[in-house]
Structure 1
Amino acid sequence: MTRFAHPTRRSLRLAGVGAAAVLTLSACSDSSGSDSAADSSASPSGSASAGLSGDVTVFAAASLQESFEELGRQFEQAHPGTTVTFNFAGSDALAASITEGAPADVFASASPRTMKIVTDAGDAEGTPATFARNQLEIATLPGNPENIDSLDDLTDPDLQVVLCDEAVPCGSAAATALEAADLELTPVSYEEDVRAALNRVVLREADAALVYQTDVRAAGDDVEGVDFPEAADAINDYPIALLGEAPNPDAAAAFIELVRSAEGQQVLTGAGFLQP
């Protein structure tokens, strides 16, 4: 089953009872055990994961939604009795929730910068591992009616262009790409995460948005993607970490193993992510 959650605040680290994030689940599942995010690449059906049970809460960047939901389904099928609960949102909001005490087992961020917020606070167990990379693409209306074929075209004042807020990884990457192109762009809005930016185009509320290529692929026929060379200057690494106060650390580590395994990489590259 699938639920989604929203970030919550910490009044539970010392009290043991907290104002918890209420998560809307995205149907998933979980699996085997390991004690750290780094250096494992076990199959979801590996013997090390025998006997796992309970819930695993994964806070993950919005751009990971389809891929992680698929990995969750695989995990659940391989390990009956476990459930993975996902909270998909902007990486900065998720990092803030974790440092404020929101109960979670795993954090998968869309940039090392937002992961560093968590590691600097001492909330990660071990060293985060990079499991995927992603780069930007221009999302236009189907058929690209404005004939957008470059980053420079987005500076046309007659175009309605949307960017992610610079606080989130997709916005930071967009700023890097624009700087590489020596361009200035004033969007009609800054959105809180990459899916919000993409949806402005899907809903025909904007002519174009700078989003990840994986989000363009996930949107299917609702948008058209346009590559641009400056995207190569703004590729984001995606790190994943087991959290220090994980309620279910063994199953959480096993989920991280799945993400980093050959099976996990196949799902991620199939969604358009680049290998780490």
Structure 2
Amino acid sequence: MHRMRGVIALVLLVCFVAAFVLTACDGDSPDPESAATPDSEVVVLAAASVEPVLQRIEQGLQERDAGLTLAAEYGGTSTLVSQIRSGRPFDVVITASRAHMGELVEDGHVSRDAYPVATNRLALVVPAENPAGVDSFDDFIAHADDLLTATCAPEVPCGELTRTMEEELGVEVHTDTEETSVSSVMTKVRMAEVDAGFTYITDARAAGDEVQVFEIPDFANNDTQIWAAIAAEPEDREAAEQLLTLVAGETGRTAFEEAGFLPPPAAEASSTD
């Protein structure tokens, strides 16, 4: 009887050891060496017109599982600059003008290595149904005082560009509402809250058949440059530099081109100095 109990105990011990070994070798068991590390998040403050570009870049990062995610917030460049001056934390900033980036560099909010990454131009847009019957830029100017028109505020790059257009072409837009970003102008035009609006050509094209677009005659300084830079003290410098490399490199150039932007001036130095 004692011998039988010993045999049974031995069999149970062997089964226990075998079960332990099988469990340890099971592919579903956790392996701390192979556990995925969390993605590095980069906080980006970007001009509203750049949104489709960053969406393209972020999609590429997700498809490649690059371990980098974007937390992007979009708005008028002047608003973003004000937020940064008020202490808003960020890792990368993309402005719609060289002047605003120059201010951030001068104030020490960003690295002095700021880069021009694209160029944008002004466009005249009207609602798809075009209730005012505008058929060209010249026609708009001829009836501007009778039309409801939306533009960006003067401190916003697209608003500054609109004022430059008025001065260079000797025309008057007769603005009825000043918006804080191009996206706000586009919203009013798409919803036919105004008869016309001045925005960037990229935003106009992105709206598709929701608006009609009219070209503006060439004039001096008829474009604005998109600039990108890293914060002076980013949360994760390596991740921020990785994103800036993408935005300023071939990946960014392709994304900007697909969104309708023009290249930055070839002779432009990669500095705001």
Q: What TM-score does the superposition give when structure 1 sets the normalisation length?
A: 0.77
Gaps of 5+ in 1: 1-50
Q: Which residue of 1 aligns with 2:164?
A: 176
In the alignment of these two chains, the number of paired residues is 226
State the Cα deviation string for residues 157-209 of structure 1 (Å, max 9, x = none): 22111110010000000000111111122211000111101111101101110
My pick for the range that moved more, 233-242 or 147-156, is 147-156
Give the superposition deviation at 1:80: 4.1
Which protein is bigger by CA-based radius of gyration?
A: 2
SS of the residue corresponding to residue 138 of structure 1 reads strand
Q: Work out which of the residue numbers 164, 167, 185 in structure 1 matches 2:152.
A: 164
Q: Are residue 64 (structure 1) and residue 50 (structure 2) matched?
A: yes
**What percent of counterpart residues are identical?**
28
Gaps of 5+ in 2: 1-36, 265-273
Give the superposition deviation at 1:151: 5.1
Q: Which residue of 2 aligns with 1:265?
A: 253
The aligned runs of 1:36-51 (5 Å cut-off) are none
Within 2, Cα distance between the matches of 1:192 and 1:231? Answer: 24
Within 1, Cα distance between the matches of 2:66 and 2:55? Answer: 16
Q: Which residue of 2 aligns with 1:253?
A: 241
The one-letter amino acid of 1:170's match is C
**Structure 1 contact 201–209 (Cα < 8 Å) conserved:** yes
Q: Which residue of 2 aligns with 1:117?
A: 103
**Structure 1 contact 52–250 (Cα < 8 Å) conserved:** no
State the Cα RMSD in Å. 1.8
**Structure 1 contact 58–84 (Cα < 8 Å) conserved:** yes
Give the superposition deviation at 1:138: 0.5
Q: Which residue of 2 aligns with 1:190?
A: 178
Give the superposition deviation at 1:72: 1.4
**Structure 1 contact 155–185 (Cα < 8 Å) conserved:** no
Q: Are residue 131 (structure 1) and residue 121 (structure 2) matched?
A: no
Structure with the higher fraction of residues in helix conformation: 2
**Structure 1 contact 180–230 (Cα < 8 Å) conserved:** no
**Structure 2 contact 91–231 (Cα < 8 Å) conserved:** yes
The one-letter amino acid of 2:64's match is A
SS of the residue corresponding to residue 127 of structure 1 reads coil
Q: Which residue of 2 aligns with 1:211?
A: 199
**Structure 1 contact 52–79 (Cα < 8 Å) conserved:** no
My pick for the range that moved more, 74-83 or 190-199, is 74-83
Within 2, Cα distance between the matches of 1:231 and 1:217? Answer: 21
**Structure 2 contact 189–195 (Cα < 8 Å) conserved:** yes
My pick for the range that moved more, 101-110 or 155-164, is 155-164
The one-letter amino acid of 1:148's match is D
Within 2, Cα distance between the matches of 1:52 and 1:78? Answer: 15
Give the superposition deviation at 1:79: 4.1
State the Cα deviation string for residues 60-112 of structure 1 (Å, max 9, x = none): 00001111111112123334433110010000111111122111000100001
Within 2, Cα distance between the matches of 1:79 and 1:107? Answer: 23
My pick for the range that moved more, 135-144 or 186-195, is 135-144
Q: Which residue of 2 aligns with 1:141?
A: 127
